[in-house]
Structure 1
């Protein structure tokens, strides 16, 4: 530790790296808590506090060096980005995708079901007449793939995606076909 504290550039680097690690843990813990992963969030918070105490101690012992304060602040901002990128890659949870289409003849619900998605649909009426409304629940890691697939089939579809807080019962609990969802390529999907 004395090697780091005696060299000002190593100190700046150490503070930066420690703060990136701390804020990455903080960001992940917050996201995990919001998504209901309590126990994983508790483990991450343990790591977060360990890293925080070490980093804060290093900064507090050398507040007279402005570069250390900047390294701490820069590490904080980079840590947020890193934490968000990790969560984005993990793609935890589920997404509900609501689709409104005027193209009834495309039989969008059947095409999506054939690809492995669970689809609930009905007819609704808008300003310009009858519309097909679809509600699709999918793992978040397949959200972009689903949206691209819908665009391939019906480029004029109106799409809204959001994260549900609670899921209970229905087809989804037993029947999602993740293997089937992984296998197809949205660029190769053709409309009827």
Structure 2
């Protein structure tokens, strides 16, 4: 009986983790405007939900089942958020204020494939350079690293736009321009390493 009870607890926990993970992903997809994909995910979500809830209701007198359901719910939220983080759907807008008003900053960012709009600004201590940069979320950390390399003291704030319309840059990104630049950079690095003579040579 103990073995059967443990199996039931494990099943309820796993089912609820899967259900809440799917629910979290479906909600995020809906917020990002991926309605059809969200609808497809919701079909699996509701089936898993019915199975999990049915197992708990049929064994409601067993407190361990209720606890497993609750723990599975909380764990599912974490798992769903981690999955969405790995998928990195959508775009973010990054606003940067640099104490260096030189437009070379803008050129360096744009040369890496990011969409940049810049304008002069004025701060308490003098002239500034303000930039608005659009990037897919999967390249967000790489963008921050690039900005920090150019100006470690740059002020950065980011937010996620709900809708994006128009502009040539979005079309280029959807065609994989940033990805191609990344691959080309990696291939160049490999070629340079292979071209270096070894000590034996």
Task: Confirm or deny a common fold (TM above 0.5).
Answer: yes
Q: Which runs of 5+ in 2 are unaligned?
A: 190-201
1:117/1:181 contact within 8 Å kept? no
Q: Deviations over 1:71-112 (max 9, x none)?
A: 000000000001000000000000101100011347210001
Choose the corresponding residue for 1:9, options 6, 9, 19: 6
After superposing on structure 2, the runs of 4+ consecutive aligned residues of structure 1 that deviate more than 3 Å are none
CA shift for structure 1 position 61 = 0.6
Tell me if 1:33 matches 2:8. Answer: no
After TM superposition, the score normalised by the length of structure 2 is: 0.86
1:122/1:134 contact within 8 Å kept? yes
Q: Which residue of 1 aligns with 2:168?
A: 171
After TM superposition, the score normalised by the length of structure 1 is: 0.90
Choose the corresponding residue for 1:146, options 140, 143, 146: 143
Q: Which residue of 1 aligns with 2:123?
A: 126
**1:29-108 correspondence to structure 2 within 5 Å:** 29-105=26-102, 107-108=104-105
Q: Which residue of 2 aligns with 1:157?
A: 154
Q: Deviations over 1:126-153 (max 9, x none)?
A: 2112110011100010011101110111
Q: Which runs of 5+ in 1 are unaligned?
A: none
* In structure 2, C-alpha distance between the alignment counterparts of 1:89 and 1:77, rounded to whole Å: 19
2:101/2:120 contact within 8 Å kept? no
* In structure 2, C-alpha distance between the alignment counterparts of 1:52 and 1:58, rounded to whole Å: 10
1:115/1:180 contact within 8 Å kept? no
Q: Which residue of 2 aligns with 1:18?
A: 15
CA 16–9 in structure 1, closer or farther in 2 if over 3 Å, else same:
same
* In structure 1, C-alpha distance between the alignment counterparts of 2:179 and 2:123, rounded to whole Å: 36
1:100/1:134 contact within 8 Å kept? yes
CA shift for structure 1 position 180 = 4.2
CA shift for structure 1 position 182 = 2.7
- CA-atom RMSD, angstroms? 2.0
CA shift for structure 1 position 173 = 3.1
CA 88–42 in structure 1, closer or farther in 2 if over 3 Å, else same:
same
